[in-house]
Chains A and B, each alone.
Chain A
Amino acid sequence: AQTVTQSQPEMSVQEAETVTLSCTYDTSESNYYLFWYKQPPSRQMILVIRQEAYKQQNATENRFSVNFQKAAKSFSLKISDSQLGDTAMYFCAFIIQGAQKLVFGQGTRLTINP
């Protein structure tokens, strides 16, 4: 079975701090893509960052970066210099090459405190 596990239901940090959200996944496939989505209270699903499994280099998007450990099937998200607007639910997800469905984790509720 293909699954995604986010072991931190909730996290809370102070503004400007760095926070890391963890994600592990399980698949027997070797070609896949990994994603982090942000869901603010508006409910809109916003893509934060993506990573191709065949790429060893970790993806980076401004203040957001990932630590991709393929052998460990781990895909954590690091948010640097956190901002109040980063407060949201964060979902880790992956999709198998050739498939058409994303598999999501249960989410981590992140709160950035002023």
Chain B
Amino acid sequence: NAGVMQNPRHLVRRRGQEARLRCSPMKGHSHVYWYRQLPEEGLKFMVYLQKENIIDESGMPKERFSAEFPKEGPSILRIQQVVRGDSAAYFCASSPMELPQGDRLFFGSGTQLSVL
């Protein structure tokens, strides 16, 4: 059973471009979470999705950021018109059920976004 797969592992964008980060959850997992890690900081919650639904986006910046988890395919975190402050590691995690009862949260290896 493959783990949580994130791609690309590294992504370089120039200011103003779009960044699309992909996350394939573990097989059988229908709950996906995105976190952002700024340099020398801990992870910060961004958004929680179930299949085709955004459940909690309280950690998402109001502008330029969006997330989706379609019925088929990976979850996508999209950042439009990137700025240097968006440079960070973006982590995806998945779970087979809601937390913390399931307490089976598995993280991917993250996508390092660098904005030039």
B33 A91 Cβ-Cβ under 8 A: no
Of the listed stretches A12-20, A58-66, A69-77, A94-102, chain B binds A94-102
Cα A102 to Cα B107 in complex, Å, equals: 12
Q: How far, in Å, is B24 (CB) from chain A's closest CB?
A: 16
A44 B109 Cβ-Cβ under 8 A: yes
Interface 1/0 per residue, B78-116 and A, CB below 8 Å = 000000000001010100001110010101011010000
Number of A-B contacts (CB under 8 A): 56
Partner among B31, B35, B41, B105 whose Cβ is within 8 Å of the Cβ of A106: B41
A45 B91 Cβ-Cβ under 8 A: yes
Q: How far, in Å, is A46 (CB) from chain B's closest CB?
A: 8
Interface size on A, residues (CB 8 A): 23
Interface size on B, residues (CB 8 A): 26
Cα A32 to Cα B103 in complex, Å, equals: 12
Interface 1/0 per residue, A87-114 and B, CB below 8 Å = 0000101010101111111110000000
A105 B55 Cβ-Cβ under 8 A: no
Report chain A residues within 8 Å CB of B73.
none
Q: How far, in Å, is B99 (CB) from chain A's closest CB?
A: 5
Cα A95 to Cα B24 in complex, Å, equals: 23
A33 B103 Cβ-Cβ under 8 A: yes
Partner among B91, B103, B112 whose Cβ is within 8 Å of the Cβ of A50: B103
Report chain B residues within 8 Å CB of A32.
100
B109 A99 Cβ-Cβ under 8 A: no
In the assembled complex, A4 has its CB within 8 A of some CB on chain B: yes
In the assembled complex, A43 has its CB within 8 A of some CB on chain B: yes
Cα A97 to Cα B45 in complex, Å, equals: 16
A105 B33 Cβ-Cβ under 8 A: no
Q: List 12 A-B contacts (CB under 8 A).
A: A44-B107, A45-B91, A45-B93, A50-B103, A91-B42, A95-B99, A99-B99, A99-B100, A101-B48, A102-B99, A104-B44, A105-B42
